[in-house]
């Protein structure tokens, strides 16, 4: 549910929590309220309902986006909120995610909110998958601020912190999908021949920026200069090859002309096979429709429809972003789903579905239907 007035947040959570013996609240807070966060946390603690939360550039409810208020969902919990800290260090620890008492609950769903600007985002997700495999289906997004400045953005009853992730485990089942709609421009693969985390230094054994600049000019017929890099590069992301799936998008953020490197929004493993991508309004909107179709193949009636849609998609789509949300909502109605789609504009999207690997996406829309 969308809560326009932050003052009503504790009361709304308490009312929704009456439906469950062991509730847990997931709160997505608009960044405009960051200055009020300590008071908000104090009031939430007084309500005595377990919660996790994160700050996002904007919120989604139906076919509209909001830069004020909060999106709140209350779920039946199978465990206490899980907090993972120190993700800027190599020695961070992932606690046991499935408590012994949850063994008989089937396949719970984990809602994960993750600091987008921290260091070990991809290794965290790999560690989580290695621990639980597909016994938990994860859905979530990377939080942070629209100016991409690294500030504390994850909050729990203990306060607001950075370099962290929080997880709420619910007994609800889920049907998940991730789609992006970006299409390959080149047929020949590009190899990330030298990388370090989210920085690529060489592509096809050539300086990364020179190679990328030439590729965009050749295949995209556009000039991506270093001084206004993101404005143009946003339309020409790179896709990591995944067998039998869409390429996983990696968003180029910054070109460093001193060493010819390119910084991406998420990590690019060394020797990754990549392709130059491009998209348009129609292909991106069609991807949102396909994501809904993917989720609705089973005969289910969802209690919650969650959407995480990338901040950089809003920049590319502009005024058409509302059309994308409206198209997703109409497709849900076509499938007989009554839940209103809601969620956040994110700085990275997270999903696992079926037997697939737990993945961090960029420039992607992730849809999740949660049901009993």
Tell which residue, 371, 366, 331, 372, has the closest CA to residue 176. 366
The stretch 268-293 carries a mean pLDDT of 95
pLDDT at 355: 63
59-68, 100-109, 324-333: which range is least confident on average?
Answer: 100-109
Instruction: Tell me how far apart the alpha carbons of residues 192 and 11 are, in angstroms, rounded to a whole number.
Output: 51
CA 320, 187, 273, 223: dihedral to nearest 10 degrees? -60
pLDDT at 134: 86
Question: Residue 185's CB: how many other CB atoms inside 10 A?
Answer: 17
**Adjacency order of strands within the sheet including 159-161:** 2-3, 70-76, 23-30, 51-56, 154-156, 159-161
pLDDT at 222: 85
pLDDT in tens, 179-201: 999 999 988 999 999 999 889 99
pLDDT at 101: 56
Quick check: 143 and 345 in contact, CB under 8 A?
no
Tell which residue, 180, 173, 122, has the closest CA to residue 372. 173
pLDDT at 199: 93
pLDDT in tens, 117-155: 998 998 999 999 999 988 899 999 999 999 989 999 999
What pairing do the DSSP bridges indicate for beta strands 304-310 and 137-143? Answer: unpaired
Instruction: Tell me how far apart the alpha carbons of residues 76 and 23 are, in angstroms, rounded to a whole number.
Output: 5
Which class for 165: exposed (0-12), middle (13-18), buried (19 or more C-beta within 10 A)?
buried
pLDDT at 289: 97
Q: What is the CA radius of gyration of the chain?
A: 20
Q: If you average pLDDT over each of 22-36, 212-226, 248-262, 356-370, which comes out highest? A: 22-36
The two structure tokens encoding residue 37: 């966060």
Q: Distances from the Cα of 5 to the Cαs of 2, 8, 49, 368, in angstroms?
A: 9, 6, 19, 26
Please give the share of the chain, as a percent, with pLDDT higher than 70: 97
The two structure tokens encoding residue 175: 């049907």
pLDDT band at 103 (very low <50, low <70, confident <90, very high): very low
pLDDT at 116: 93
Q: What is the mean pLDDT of the chain?
A: 92
pLDDT in tens, 17-72: 998 999 999 999 999 999 999 999 999 999 999 999 999 999 999 999 999 999 99
Quick check: 154 and 54 in contact, CB under 8 A?
yes
Quick check: 143 and 114 in contact, CB under 8 A?
yes
Residue 275 CA neighbour count, 13 Å, CB half: 16
CA 148, 149, 150, 156: dihedral to nearest 10 degrees? -80
Instruction: Tell me how far apart the alpha carbons of residues 137 and 298 are, in angstroms, rounded to a whole number.
Output: 16
| pLDDT higher than threshold 90 for residue 290 | yes
Helices (H), 100-192: 121-132
Say which residues have a Cβ less than 8 Å from residue 338's Cβ, sequence separation at least 6.
301, 302
The stretch 160-186 carries a mean pLDDT of 95
According to DSSP, the residues that pair with 154 across neighbouring strands are 54, 161
| Block residue for tokens 């206490």 | 80
According to DSSP, the residues that pair with 183 across neighbouring strands are 278
The stretch 277-293 carries a mean pLDDT of 94
């Amino acid at each position: 549910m969308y809560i326009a007035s932050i003052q009503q947040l504790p009361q709304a959570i308490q009312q929704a929590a009456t439906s469950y013996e062991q509730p847990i609240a997931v709160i997505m807070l608009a960044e405009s309220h960051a200055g009020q966060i300590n008071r908000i946390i104090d009031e939430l603690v007084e309500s005595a309902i377990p919660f996790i939360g994160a700050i996002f550039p904007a919120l989604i409810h139906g076919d509209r986006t909001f830069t004020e208020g909060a999106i709140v969902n209350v779920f039946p919990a199978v465990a206490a909120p899980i907090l993972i800290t120190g993700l800027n260090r190599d020695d961070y620890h992932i606690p046991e995610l499935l408590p012994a008492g949850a063994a008989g609950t089937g396949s719970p769903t984990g809602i994960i909110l993750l600091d987008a600007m921290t260091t070990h985002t991809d290794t965290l997700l790999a560690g989580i998958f290695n621990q639980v495999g597909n016994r938990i289906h994860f859905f979530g997004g990377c939080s942070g601020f629209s100016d991409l400045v690294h500030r504390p953005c994850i909050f729990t009853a203990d306060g607001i912190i950075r370099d962290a992730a929080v997880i709420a485990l619910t007994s609800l089942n889920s049907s998940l999908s991730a789609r992006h709609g970006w299409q390959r421009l080149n047929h020949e693969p590009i190899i990330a021949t030298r990388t370090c985390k989210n920085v690529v230094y060489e592509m096809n054994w050539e300086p990364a920026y020179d190679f990328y600049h030439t590729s965009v000019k050749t295949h995209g017929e556009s000039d991506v200069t270093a001084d206004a890099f993101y404005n143009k590069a946003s339309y020409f992301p790179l896709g990591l090859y995944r067998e039998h799936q869409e390429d996983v998008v990696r968003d180029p953020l910054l070109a460093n002309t001193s060493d010819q490197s390119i910084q991406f929004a998420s990590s690019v493993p060394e020797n990754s096979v990549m392709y130059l991508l491009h998209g348009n309004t129609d292909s991106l909107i069609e991807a949102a429709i396909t994501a809904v179709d993917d989720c609705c193949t089973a005969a289910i009636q969802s209690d919650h429809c969650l959407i995480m849609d990338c901040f950089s998609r809003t920049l590319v789509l502009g005024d058409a972003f509302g059309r994308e949300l409206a198209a997703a909502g109409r497709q849900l109605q076509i499938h007989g789903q009554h839940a209103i789609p809601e969620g956040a504009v994110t700085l990275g999207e997270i999903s696992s579905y079926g037997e697939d690997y737990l993945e961090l996406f960029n420039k992607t829309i992730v849809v999740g239907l949660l049901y009993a």
